[in-house]
Chain A
């Protein structure tokens, strides 16, 4: 976090506006982070990623769109929260056609290795199906399962398991378009 004095903050606003490519979020992201604090305004934004009109980056997709949806134990059905995130993913993919996606399905550590590979595949498949239904071309979305091999959190409690029952959409530039 960086503290800015008011005059500097005003200059920053100009700079950001000047740099911004057609993308609209600049106004939002620059205005939003300023808050009154004793001795001056406090910058609370993220200068490094996603705010400089760089929507067309995997970082923006991961951090702002949201690359991960979670599942209930032993379930592969998409929750309404997951569908909200996937709708944003689909919108981003439909806008940024120079990117393809690999959906990685995961499972928690309880369960056998083989079943969890199949369970992760089914979760990835559910995400793929949703993205395609939202208009993403089928040939841009592949799936993959890691089963229980790549947990995000490593404890052996429900708090971690809930984070590990997931599907992660990984986008990468195809080298054309974008």
Chain B
């Protein structure tokens, strides 16, 4: 399994850097109006490590994949420094219209690699932030690359980063009427896939715990839908519910990992219950004769947003974790479902069906400011990047051979892109930024 990267501020590097600009550091403002990506130069990394250029390519892919950055063509890069730490010829980079410049060096010793990088503000003619060094196992080179890209992203956008994170998902194979499903975990960009379950029984909708160590999911392995919790490091799972007269599904962890909120069915009616993840003790949270399902915690753990058809068709409601009367927050036309509270706390993403179209959309937590991000035959199951800026979701193609694919979209509604996977997948759950 992965080991934490050693993240070290190199004193020698930091000491040789000019002082951080006190006013107006290079920054890209992410607003609905931004259409011009920032031009960034990422010349070949220094050092003779075999993975040096692969790391460079992943850093570049992370940054350009956001839609916020445009890479300066390699052909235009006439001014690459001769070595890491050499003085930057800012004039030459200005000449090719680079706004930001990344310089890095990768060294390898045995099965360990060390990556140093610096970020420069070309127009200000100075470094932006301290130089940094990441030490990692050679096999974790992709994580080292994501860490560097995260640093660059955070410094240039002012947002929390998200590249060094993982996504749990369900792989789908076989015909549509006898689909075979299994749970996997991968890097956010679709690499380093680890399989968590076999294909023996139907599994649905894994959900990460906030610490990234566990998954809660729905399994039909007993023949009836029940909730299981899986430890990712050991790939071992155990049932949390085992009541044959009561279906249990759509589990999600509380932010502190102590509770699981889920849907529990009795006599055909589905309500929302809370369960102690350790002891399995359960108590009802929302009970009504209507369908109450798809609960999701607020990041402070105090409230839950869920889907209910108590008004006649599915709408979104918010309730405190101590119960009480839920308050309805969605009032638009259409059917609202599968809400997911942003880890930033400001927005709720959800699925909305209007006529024959499905949309991924967001609203503020009081229901105002509804904003549609996508639309297709069937878009569903939104999940948030750890920084609350990007939503990943499932898009299903219509027809007997229609397959589900994972896509992501910026919360501005721009930069919709499919995840590069060579198989069908659904039900993404975006885990935390890794330490």
Q: Among B23-31, B108-116, B191-199, B265-273, which stretch is in contact with chain A?
A: B265-273
- Alpha-carbon gap, A145 to B202, bound state (A): 12
Nearest CB to that of B336 among chain A residues?
A: A112
Nearest CB to that of A121 among chain B residues?
A: B265
Query: Is A125 part of the binding interface, using a Cβ–Cβ cutoff of 8 Å?
Result: yes
The residues of B that contact A142 with a CB separation of less than 8 Å are 224, 244-245
The residues of A that contact B417 with a CB separation of less than 8 Å are none
The residues of B that contact A74 with a CB separation of less than 8 Å are 313
Interface residues of B in 25-46 (CB under 8 A from A): none
Interface residues of A in 154-172 (CB under 8 A from B): 154-156
Decide if B338 touches A152 in the complex (CB within 8 Å): no
Decide if A118 touches B204 in the complex (CB within 8 Å): no
The residues of A that contact B205 with a CB separation of less than 8 Å are 113-114
Decide if B398 touches A156 in the complex (CB within 8 Å): yes
Decide if A112 touches B294 in the complex (CB within 8 Å): yes
Interchain Cβ contacts within 8 Å, total number: 112
Nearest chain B CB to A112's CB is how many angstroms away? Answer: 4
Decide if B268 touches A122 in the complex (CB within 8 Å): yes
Q: Among B6-14, B53-61, B376-384, which stretch is in contact with chain A?
A: B376-384
How big is chain A's contact interface, by range?
Answer: 20 to 34
Q: Among B66-74, B133-141, B151-159, B172-180, which stretch is in contact with chain A?
A: B172-180
Nearest chain A CB to B232's CB is how many angstroms away? Answer: 22
Decide if B204 touches A113 in the complex (CB within 8 Å): yes
Query: Is B399 part of the binding interface, using a Cβ–Cβ cutoff of 8 Å?
Result: yes
Q: Taking A112-B294, A113-B381, A144-B225 as contacts, is the C-beta distance between A121 and B338 under 8 angstroms?
A: no
Query: Is B188 part of the binding interface, using a Cβ–Cβ cutoff of 8 Å?
Result: no
Decide if A152 touches B270 in the complex (CB within 8 Å): no
Query: Is A117 part of the binding interface, using a Cβ–Cβ cutoff of 8 Å?
Result: yes
Of A111, A115, A126, A146, the contact of B268 (CB 8 Å cutoff): A126
Decide if B176 touches A154 in the complex (CB within 8 Å): yes
Decide if A119 touches B268 in the complex (CB within 8 Å): no
Decide if B338 touches A114 in the complex (CB within 8 Å): yes
Decide if B293 touches A149 in the complex (CB within 8 Å): no
Decide if B270 touches A122 in the complex (CB within 8 Å): yes
What 19 new A-B contacts, CB under 8 Å, besides A112-B351, A119-B291, A154-B177? A112-B294, A112-B337, A114-B250, A114-B293, A114-B294, A114-B307, A115-B294, A115-B337, A118-B265, A121-B268, A122-B270, A122-B291, A143-B268, A145-B225, A145-B247, A150-B179, A154-B175, A156-B399, A156-B402
Instruction: List, sorted by A's number, 6 A–B pairs whose CB atoms are closer than 8 Å.
Output: A109-B396, A114-B307, A121-B270, A143-B268, A153-B177, A154-B400
Please name the 8 residue pairs, one residue from A and one from B, whose CB atoms are nearest each other, closest first. A125-B268, A156-B398, A118-B270, A112-B337, A154-B400, A114-B294, A154-B176, A118-B291
